[in-house]
Structure 1
Amino acid sequence: MRRTLFVPMVTAAVAAVVLAGCGSGSTPPTGTGSASVSQAPAPAASEPNPAGDIPDNQVYVLYAPGGSNGAFTVKVPEGWARTDSAGTVSFTDKLNRIEIVPRSGAAAPTSQSVSAQVVPGLRQHVPKFAMGKVGVVSRQAGPVVLLTYQGDTAPDPVTGKVVHDAFERYAFHSGSREVDLTLSGPVGADNVDPWRIVTDSFRWQ
């Protein structure tokens, strides 16, 4: 009697296990069909500023203005495009620029005078102007007032592209003469050495 009852119980248990195994094998796990799931495209990253680094092998040539402004010399990168406009001369190449503005009859600039007289005009005319530092640094020509700041360039006439630049404005002075030398290039560009070559080359004549 005990055998008659025991055998069906074992058989039922085995059948339950077999049925459970068949059921789990017949239904694939949810989410395994990953190939059919569409993925949204990643948002486009904002375009970074181009490097704008001046090559290490850049050659420099001496620039000496003529006429009444020919009282100084300074080295500029060879091959850069030159533009003269209303007493201002500039040298440009791609994303970098050197601007030279000679003045006469000016009092010696100081950190205070540059902050009070120059910075307000830059705030008004330079898009997204961001003040850096102003102070006196040493160059081969002697002490010079250096103003650093950042701002946007004018839109490119062809592409409309705007670049955020870093500016270094050096105010050289001797007697009643002053030359404002402004160097600019994209923020993040490593032009420390080229800018030092240019500013250290400045000489009064």
Structure 2
Amino acid sequence: MATRIRTSVIMGMAVAAAVTAGCSGTGSPAAERSAPAGSSSSGVAQDKAVPTESNPPGDIPDNQAYVAFHGSGFTVKVPEGWARTQRAGATVFTDKLNTVRIETAAASAAPTVGSVTNTVVPRLRSQVPKFAAPRVSEVTRHAGRVVLLTYRGDSSKDPVTGKVVRDAFERYAFQRSGHEVDLTLSGPAGADNVDPWRTISDSFAWR
């Protein structure tokens, strides 16, 4: 009888020891599942770090300054510091992937949605690589009513990198007293330039 009691006590002590070891072991599967590999205090800090902010290619900075360009009988604001060139009778301002193009011409009649659709669109279709998605409408700017043509097309090949960019275009046709000014704004499709393009097109004024 005494022998059976001692045997029971010894077995009970062995089971308790095994349970205690299983609960406190650092190499158990349960412990591995609760602490994923590679986790550390430095890893947590990296997860919470704010990523560096960067603008998509073609975005004009919000703090861009503008200066007045004085043309024949008109003024318009253009981004300060952009390179200025003359191309085929047009004054062009460029910076990286963005362009402001100003052209003047004699025009006895004011442009209309119909005239731009029937004359300007076919001409651009033959001049602009992969010309697409033309849309002509009338809009109002500070200078008054203006005909707006929006479209897409490929840029010229970069002479250094050889890259071609898909551009979005806004072409505004202003007219007064037989004098027409065509203001074309362009930059990479998808760039957030709504506000800068509005600033420029709204700044146009006859003088």
Q: TM-score, normalised by structure 2?
A: 0.71
SS at match of 1:58: coil
Equivalent-residue separation in structure 2 for 1:105 and 1:179 (angstroms):
9
Equivalent-residue separation in structure 1 for 2:99 and 2:87 (angstroms):
15
Match of 1:182 among 169, 181, 184: 184
Pair 1:166-2:142 in alignment: no
* Structure 1 residue 85, shift from structure 2 partner: 3.1
Aligned amino acid, residue 119 of structure 1: V
Pair 1:145-2:147 in alignment: yes
RMSD: 1.0
* Structure 1 residue 131, shift from structure 2 partner: 2.2
Aligned pairs, how many?
Answer: 152
1:19-72 superposed Cα distances (whole Å, 9 cap, x missing partner): xxxxxxxxxxxxxxxxxxxxxxxxxxxxxxx5210000000000003xxxx200
Structure 2, unpaired ranges of 5+? 1-55
1:157-193 superposed Cα distances (whole Å, 9 cap, x missing partner): 1111000000000000111010000000000000000
Structure 1, unpaired ranges of 5+? 1-49
* Structure 1 residue 97, shift from structure 2 partner: 0.1
Equivalent-residue separation in structure 1 for 2:150 and 2:169 (angstroms):
6
Aligned amino acid, residue 173 of structure 2: A
Pair 1:55-2:64 in alignment: no
Equivalent-residue separation in structure 2 for 1:55 and 1:129 (angstroms):
27
Identity among equivalent pairs (%): 64
* Structure 1 residue 87, shift from structure 2 partner: 2.5
| Aligned residue number for residue 155 of structure 1 | 157
| Aligned residue number for residue 74 of structure 1 | 76
Moved >3 Å (runs of 4+): none
| Aligned residue number for residue 204 of structure 2 | 202
Equivalent-residue separation in structure 1 for 2:75 and 2:165 (angstroms):
30
Aligned amino acid, residue 162 of structure 1: V
Match of 1:88 among 84, 87, 90: 90
